Amino acid sequence: MISNKMIGLVQNSSVIRAMFEEGKRLASIYGAENVYDFSLGNPSVEPPKAVKNAVIETISEESANLVHGYMNNSGYEDVRRAIAQSINKKFNTSLGEENIIMTVGAAGGLNVILKTLLNPGDEVITFAPFFGEYRNYVSNFDGELVIVSPNTVNFQPNLSEFEKKITAKTKAVIINTPNNPTGVVYSEETITALADILNKKQTELNTSIYLISDEPYRELVYDGIEVPYLTNYYKNTIVGYSYSKSLSLPGERIGYLVIPGEVDDFSDITAAANVATRILGFVNAPSLIQRVVAKCLDSEVDISVYNRNRELLYNSLIDYGYTCVKPEGAFYLFVKALEEDDKAFAAAAKKHNILIVPGSSFGCPGYCRIAYCVDYKTIEGSLSGFKKLAEEYLNK
């Protein structure tokens, strides 16, 4: 009796979420301390103290009708102005409040911009491995997700295949750097080459191709690496940002879109994104938390905690004989499965109470994602299991 589209979606419902539930089940049997759940990107580091202070300050000092009331569907003007100024300072952009639309997380932002842009049958290109929800977001508006196959050497995008897949129907390209699931940061060289291809193709096809940069992991980078700010490299860039990871607020559903003034059809796009925010049922990003993040623009979670996890896990796995590109950002490690079938490999890991997600969920079979945004103890506890798992395969 439910819609035909939903029947399929329920059946294939997110493997990640299913594992999250499985983790809870195993924990109830073996005890939480004996289950090593690396399935979900749920930040373990606490939000910075500034968040709590900002909540209390906002609720105590600002008018309740302002804090909890309706505002423009695109968000509070003062909040958007503060965010624009903060981005300008960090990335040398020249944004104003008119360039910012507050969204219900990055997921909300992506849906708003895709609703804004897509006609049925329009193509959206993304690079495997990619966040599996892109399939659903594009499908929500009857677009076609076109997937560029993975470059498993270093997980930088495969640009020659990309160029071939751009057609007159290509409306947008979604990239995600630092990347979920690989943790790889696309290099400046990659971004420049990507922008060149897009510019060339726009001219050739006489179309506008929007580069949608999905950036929930921007601040989670290690070893002092820089993540290029894409609006500075390609004119038709739209950024989707989220505070889920930078402030450890994933449940709050707060983020924003950046739509720079120089993108083609800027006025139509911002007007339509405003309307899309309303009619998709978001109405506006949650109000109190909008005001809170505006007071925490210079705060960040303590990423040294994730870095410590990364080092222990990466070094141990390499030591045990696994193959993996060392992640430079986010809190994921994308390890090569020790057999061709990544789902079978994830099932073998589960026998050691280790929960990891098959790469097929990210359009990249043969690998598994390990989300290391967990307690250090969880990583320590899991190591003997990872070691035994490797031995089962490598000593065959």
Site for its own copies in 104-143 (CB under 8 A): 104-105, 107-112, 115-119, 122, 133, 136-137, 140-141
Of 280 and 390, which has the nearer Cβ to its own copies?
280
Please report which residue ranges of the chain form alpha helices under DSSP H.
4-11, 15-30, 49-61, 64-68, 77-91, 105-117, 133-140, 159-165, 188-205, 266-279, 287-294, 304-320, 342-350, 376-394
Q: Which of 28, 32, 33, 68 binds its own copies (CB under 8 A)?
A: 68
Sort 79 into a burial class: Cβ within 10 Å, 0-12 / 13-18 / 19+.
Answer: buried
Q: Which of 9, 145, 312, 390 binds its own copies (CB under 8 A)?
A: 9
Of 119 and 323, which has the nearer Cβ to its own copies?
119
Of 156 and 277, which has the nearer Cβ to its own copies?
277
Query: What is the nearest approach in angstroms of its own copies to the Cβ of residue 247?
Result: 8
Query: What is the nearest approach in angstroms of its own copies to the Cβ of residue 253?
Result: 5
Under rule CB under 8 A, which residues in 21-50 are in contact with its own copies?
Answer: 40, 42-44, 46-47
Query: What is the nearest approach in angstroms of its own copies to the Cβ of residue 107?
Result: 4
Strand pairing report for 210-214 and 367-371: unpaired
Stretch in the footprint of its own copies (CB under 8 A) among 27-35, 187-195, 263-271, 331-339:
263-271
Specify whether the CB–CB gap between 314 and 324 falls below 8 A.
yes
Q: Which of 65, 92, 206, 395 binds its own copies (CB under 8 A)?
A: 65
Hey, what long-range contacts does 204-210 have (CB within 8 A, 24 or more apart)?
205/166, 205/167, 205/168, 205/170, 207/168, 207/170, 208/236, 208/264, 208/265, 209/166, 209/170, 209/171, 209/172, 209/173, 209/236, 210/113, 210/117, 210/171, 210/172, 210/173, 210/236, 210/237, 210/238, 210/263
Taking every pair of Cα atoms in the chain, the longest distance, rounded to a whole number of angstroms, is 68
Q: Which of 29, 92, 206, 281 binds its own copies (CB under 8 A)?
A: 281
Task: Give me the amino acid identity at 312.
Answer: L
Q: Which of 276, 355, 357, 370 binds its own copies (CB under 8 A)?
A: 276
Of 193 and 269, which has the nearer Cβ to its own copies?
269
State yes or no: residue 248 binds its own copies (CB under 8 A): yes
Query: What is the nearest approach in angstroms of its own copies to the Cβ of residue 187?
Result: 29
Of 29 and 64, which has the nearer Cβ to its own copies?
64
State yes or no: residue 1 binds its own copies (CB under 8 A): yes
Under rule CB under 8 A, which residues in 199-238 are in contact with its own copies?
Answer: 208
Write the interaction track for its own copies spanning residues 137-176; mark x where CB under 8 A is met and - where it is not: x--xx-----------------------------------
CA–CA separation, 254 and 12 (whole Å): 27
Of 125 and 296, which has the nearer Cβ to its own copies?
296
What 3-state class would DSSP assign to 61?
helix
Of 157 and 260, which has the nearer Cβ to its own copies?
260
Peptide bond into 129 cis (omega under 30): yes
Under rule CB under 8 A, which residues in 77-106 are in contact with its own copies?
Answer: 104-105
Q: Which of 19, 35, 50, 71 binds its own copies (CB under 8 A)?
A: 71
Of 99 and 158, which has the nearer Cβ to its own copies?
99
State yes or no: residue 59 binds its own copies (CB under 8 A): yes
Query: Phi, psi (5° rounding) for residue 291?
Result: -70, -30
Q: Which of 279, 318, 344, 394 binds its own copies (CB under 8 A)?
A: 279
Query: What is the nearest approach in angstroms of its own copies to the Cβ of residue 213?
Result: 17
DSSP code string of 199-255: HHHHHHHT---EEEEE-TTTT-B-TT-----GGGT-TTEEEEEESTTTSS-GGG--E
